[in-house]
Amino acid sequence: MTEDVGPDVLIVGAGPVGLSMALALRHLGIECVVVDKHGGPMDFPRGRGITVRTMELMRRWGLEAALRAAGLPASEVAVFVGDSLLAPTFDRHVT
C-alpha cells in the first residue's frame, strides 16, 4: 500500500495572518498549503498600512524591497487624527 504524503501544515485563510504564517513556515523549510474561500486576489486592498513589526518580518524573509516597490511612496500617504469615528474633525494631520 502506498502512503500519500502531503504538506506538513494546512493553513485555512489567506488573510494577513494566514499568509504571514505561510511565509514564516516556508522560511523555516516547513511545507505548507494555504486555502481560502476566495479564488484569487481581492479587487481592492483590505489593509491600509503596515506596522513596524510587520516590516521587520518582511525584512527577515527577504521581502522588504518587493513590498516597498509595490506600495505607495511615503509622500503620498497621510494619516488624519480625529475625535470620533462617526464625525471626524481631522484636528491633526500626520505625515
Please check the confidence at residue 56 and state whether its pLDDT lies above 80.
Answer: yes
Split at pLDDT 50, 70, 90, the class of 26 is very high
Q: Does any domain span residue 58? A: yes
Number of structural domains (the chain) is 1
Split at pLDDT 50, 70, 90, the class of 4 is confident
User: For residue 53, what is its C-alpha cell?
Assistant: 513589526
CB 66 within 8 A of CB 33: no
Segment 10-15 shows an average pLDDT of: 93
Q: Does any domain span residue 3? A: no
Q: Does any domain span residue 17? A: yes
Q: Does any domain span residue 74? A: yes
Q: Where are the alpha helices (DSSP H) in 15-71?
A: 16-27, 52-60, 64-70
Q: Does any domain span residue 4? A: no
In single-letter form, the type of residue at position 62 comes to: G
Question: Which of 70, 51, 56, 49 has its CA nearest to residue 23?
Answer: 56
Q: Which domain holds residue 63?
A: 9-40+47-94
